[in-house]
Amino acid sequence: MRAGAISGRPSRDRERSGTAARRIDDSSWAFLLAGILMAMNAERDGRIPQDRLRNFSIIAHIDHGKTTLSDRLLELTHTIDARQMTSQVLDSMDLEREKGITIKARAVRLEYQAADGLTYGLNLIDTPGHVDFSYEVSRSLQACEGAILVVDATQGIEAQTLANVHMALRQNLTIIPVLNKIDLPSAQTDVVIEELESVLAIPREEVLLASAKDGTGVLEILEAIVARVPPPKGDPEAPVEGLIFDSHYDAYKGVVVYVRLAQGTLRQHDIIRLMGSGAEAELLELGFFRPQLVPVSELRAGDVGYVATGLKSVRDAQVGDTVTTLPRPAAHPLPGYQPAKTLVFAGIYPVVGADYPVLRDAMEKLHLNDASFSFEPESSVALGFGFRCGFLGLLHMEIVQERLEREFGQELIASAPSVEYRVVLINNQGLVTVDNPSKMPNAGEIEEIQEPWVKLSVVSPSNFIGTLMELATNRRGSFLGMEYLDPQRVLLTFELPLGEVIVDFYDQLKSRTQGYASMDYEEAGYRAANLVKVDVLVAGEPVDALSVIVHRDRAQPVGRELVHRLRGLIPRQMFEIAIQAAIGSTVIARESVAAMRKNVLAKCYGGDISRKKKLLEKQKEGKQRMKRVGSVEIPQEAFLAVLRMDDV
C-alpha cells in the first residue's frame, strides 16, 4: 500500500524534464548575467535593511505545484546558476526525486529587485504537501510572516489545502492565494476562485493566477510578496535569539543548525550557546541557503540561515532549541515547537544483528535532520535488538526507514505499524500506554483498552459519497457531516479509530474514488474499544514481532490470514512446524508446515564440485541470516513479507 500512499492521483501526468531549465541553459549570456547579479547580490548580503526582508512559506495540498513555483522564484531572482537548474530543484533528496514529492521543508534566501527599484531579501520555505509532514509545515510557518497558498486550478481545494490554510491563519500569517496550473486546459479558474471565496473567505481580488510551469504570473507573485507580507520584527542590537528549525550533521563542520533569528545579530567567531542543551561552541561559519550553503559575515534579526557549530554530539543541538551568544545571552529561550505528535509506531531492526550500534548512530544522525520521529531501544525474540520508533504517519515511517537504509547504508526490517493504546488495568492499578502489541498486558489484567481516534476530512467529487460512507463504516467510523465546496465536490467529515486509518485506508480511498478524493486527519482523543491481542505462535513460541491488536470481531479472520501467510513463507524444516494464532491461550487458527523431505544435490561430478560448494555456502549464509524462534529457523524475508502485508 505504501506506494499508493505516496503517488499522486493516477490521472496526473507528472513531468520532470525541466523545460524552463533547458531554455536558459542554451543561452550562455544568461550565465554571465546571472553570475554578475549573484556577485552583486553577494556583496549586498546582510546589508538589506530589515524592512526589506520578507519571510514566507509556500503551502498547498500535495502536488499542487509548490516546488515547481519555487523553481520559478529561484530562476527569476537568479538565485541558482542556470546550469544547475533542474525541475523541482529543491527536492534534492534522492527519495524526493524518486517519489516526486517534497518530504522536507527547504529554506532558500532570494534577493529580488522589485518594481520599486529596491532589492528585497526573501526567505522562501518550500513545504511538503503530504499529510504526514504537516509538522514540517507548521514549523516553517513559525518562521514566517506570510504564506503563498498554492491551489491547483484543475483540482481546487483539497484536504491539505484546508488543513494548511487553517494552520497559517492560526499563526496570523498573510496569505497570498495563487491559482496554479492555469496553463492546463482543464483549469477551472472561476470555479476554484468561487470555492476559495465561499469555503475560505478569500476575496477574489486577492487571488493571483499563475502557471509555475511556464512562468506566467510569477513576477506578480514576487511583487505581491513584497507588497503584502510584512517585514519581520526583531531588534538587531538585542541579545541573540535564534530558533533552530532544522539541522544536519556535517563531518567537517559538525552539527549545522538552521535558524530563524528573532533578535540580535550573529557574527563569525561568536561564542554561541544552545539554551536548551547548554552546549557552547565557537561559531565556525554562518550563511544563507542559496539553496546550497553560502557563507556570509553576519545574520541579523529576521534572517533565516545556517550556523555551523562544530559540535560533534548530535544531542547537543536539537530542533526547537534557541541559539544565543555569550557574553550577552538572551534572558529566556524562544517558545520552541510543540513536539511532533507521533501516531504510528513500529519496531525497526537491523537485518544483521551485529549492525545494532551502527543503527543507533544512524538513528541519532537522522534524527538531527528529522526531529519528528522518535526512537527507543527495544528487543524482540524474533528480530533481535532494535528500536521502537514513532512516526507521524505511514509515509513518514517508510521515508525514515528508506533514509536510514540509503543514507546510512543500513539493511532494516520493520514490524507492522501500530497505534498507541491506553490500557486501564484492573483493581485501579492505573493506566499504561502500549505502542507495541507484544507488550500488551495479559487479558486478565486489563479493565479496558482505549484506542486513539481521529477526525478525518475527505474532499471528494460528490458522486463518491456512497462508497466513502461505506468505507468509513467498514472501518468502524461514524459520519460527522458533509459540506458542499462547489456543486460537484463535498467535504465529508468522519470519526474513525486511527488504527483503521493507518492500515490501507488511503489506498482504499484512492481506489474507490478513482484517485479523486483527498484526505486529512487530526487527533480526536481516546475511546474505549473491544480490542484483543492476537499472537502468532510458531512451534508453540510466540513471534512477538507479529502480534497485532485488532477489534474482537476481526480477530479470527486476521489470525487466520496471518497464519496462512506465514505458513507459505516458512520453508520446510527438518520437522513439522505448527503455526497458530491465539488470543491469550485460546488458539483461533492453526496450520502447519510439513517436514522437509528432500534437499539434495543430485549430481556432483568433477565440474560440479566448486559450483555446488558455492550453492551450499549460499544455503549456509541463508541459514545464518535466519531468525530463530525456538528451534525453528525463519528467514528474515518471511517476517518482512508478513510485515509488509499491511492489509491484514
Partner 1 sequence: MSKPRPPVALYLHLPFCLARCPYCDFVVYAGGDARGPRARTEHLYAAVARELELRADALDGRFGRPDVGGPREPLRSVYFGGGTPSLVPVEWLERLLAVVRDRYGVVSDAEVTLEANPGPEERGDPAAFRRVGFTRISFGAQSLDEGELRRLGRRHSPDDVAAAVAGARAAGIGSVNLDLLYDVPGQSLAAWETTLQAALALRPDHLSLYALTLDDPDAEGITGREGDHLPTPPGARRWRERARLEQDEDRAADQYGLATDLLAAEGWRGYEISNWSRPGHESRHNLAYWERRPYEAVGPGAHAFDGVVRRWNAATKDPYIAALLPAQGAAAEPPGGRETITPETATSERIILALRLDVGVPAAWADRSPLADSREWAESAGLLESMEVGGEARLRLTLRGRLLSNELFARLV
Ligand X SMILES: Nc1nc2c(ncn2[C@@H]2O[C@H](COP(=O)(O)OP(=O)(O)OP(=O)(O)O)[C@@H](O)[C@H]2O)c(=O)[nH]1
Residues that bind ligand X (CB under 6 A): 14-15, 60, 62-68, 88, 101-102, 128-129, 180-181, 183-184, 211-213
CB of 523 to ligand X, least distance (A): 22
* Whole-angstrom distance, CA of residue 267 vs CA of residue 515: 51
609 binds, among Mg ion, ligand X, partner 1, none (CB under 5 to 8 A by kind): partner 1
Site for Mg ion in 69-128 (CB under 5 A): 102
* Whole-angstrom distance, CA of residue 286 vs CA of residue 264: 14
CB of 7 to partner 1, least distance (A): 30
User: DSSP for 281-343?
Assistant: EE--EEEEESSSEEE-SEEETT-EEEEE-----GGGS-TT-EEEEESS--SS-----PPP---
Q: Decide whether 58 or 634 has the Cβ nearer to Mg ion.
A: 58
184 binds, among ligand X, Mg ion, partner 1, none (CB under 5 to 8 A by kind): ligand X
Position 465, amino acid: I
597 binds, among ligand X, Mg ion, partner 1, none (CB under 5 to 8 A by kind): partner 1
Q: Decide whether 160 or 460 has the Cβ nearer to Mg ion.
A: 160
- Backbone φ, ψ for residue 388 (5° rounding): -90, 120
418 binds, among Mg ion, ligand X, partner 1, none (CB under 5 to 8 A by kind): none
Question: Shortest Cβ contact with ligand X: which residue?
Answer: 129
Q: Decide whether 128 or 254 has the Cβ nearer to ligand X.
A: 128
Q: Decide whether 269 or 598 has the Cβ nearer to partner 1.
A: 598
Q: Which stretch binds partner 1 (CB under 8 A): 172-180, 303-311, 341-349, 619-627?
A: 619-627
Does residue number 628 form part of the binding site for partner 1 (CB under 8 A)? no
* Whole-angstrom distance, CA of residue 87 vs CA of residue 18: 4
Burial class (CB in 10 A: 0-12, 13-18, 19+), 276: middle
The single residue listed with the C-alpha cell 527519495 is: 95
CB of 592 to partner 1, least distance (A): 14
211 binds, among Mg ion, ligand X, partner 1, none (CB under 5 to 8 A by kind): ligand X
Site for Mg ion in 207-266 (CB under 5 A): none
Q: Which x/- pattern over 519-558 shows residues binding partner 1 (rule: CB under 8 A)?
A: ----------------------------------------
Q: Which stretch binds partner 1 (CB under 8 A): 31-39, 152-160, 530-538, 594-602?
A: 594-602
Does residue number 619 form part of the binding site for partner 1 (CB under 8 A)? yes
Q: What is the chain's percent helix, strand, coil content, to nearest 5?
A: 35, 30, 35
The single residue listed with the C-alpha cell 513559525 is: 142
Site for partner 1 in 311-350 (CB under 8 A): none
183 binds, among ligand X, partner 1, Mg ion, none (CB under 5 to 8 A by kind): ligand X
Q: Which x/- pattern over 488-517 shows residues binding partner 1 (rule: CB under 8 A)?
A: ------------------------------
Segment 112-119 long-range contacts (CB within 8 Å, at least 24 positions apart):
112/76, 112/77, 112/222, 112/226, 114/222, 114/223, 114/226, 115/223, 116/226, 118/52, 119/41, 119/44, 119/48, 119/52
Is the Cα torsion angle 180, 183, 189, 192 positive or negative in sign? negative
CB of 621 to partner 1, least distance (A): 9
CB of 150 to ligand X, least distance (A): 6
Coil, strand or helix at 459: strand
* Whole-angstrom distance, CA of residue 108 vs CA of residue 304: 8
* Whole-angstrom distance, CA of residue 372 vs CA of residue 419: 16
Binding partner 1 by CB under 8 A: which of 614, 628, 631, 647? 614
Q: Under 8 Å CB-to-CB from 34, ≥6 apart: which residues?
A: 78, 81, 82
Binding partner 1 by CB under 8 A: which of 617, 628, 631, 647? 617
* Whole-angstrom distance, CA of residue 142 vs CA of residue 112: 23
181 binds, among Mg ion, ligand X, partner 1, none (CB under 5 to 8 A by kind): ligand X
1 binds, among Mg ion, ligand X, partner 1, none (CB under 5 to 8 A by kind): none
CB of 71 to ligand X, least distance (A): 8
- Backbone φ, ψ for residue 137 (5° rounding): -65, -45
* Whole-angstrom distance, CA of residue 176 vs CA of residue 190: 17
Q: Decide whether 179 or 569 has the Cβ nearer to ligand X.
A: 179
Helices (H) and strands (E) in the chain, counts: 17, 33
- Backbone φ, ψ for residue 442 (5° rounding): -65, 150
Set of cell numbers at residue 155: 483540482
Does residue number 568 form part of the binding site for partner 1 (CB under 8 A)? no
* Whole-angstrom distance, CA of residue 208 vs CA of residue 633: 63
Binding partner 1 by CB under 8 A: which of 328, 523, 594, 647? 594
* Whole-angstrom distance, CA of residue 284 vs CA of residue 269: 6
Residues in contact with Mg ion by the rule CB under 5 A? 66-67, 102
Query: Which residues are near partner 1 by CB under 8 A?
Result: 572, 574, 594, 596-607, 609-611, 613-617, 619-620, 623
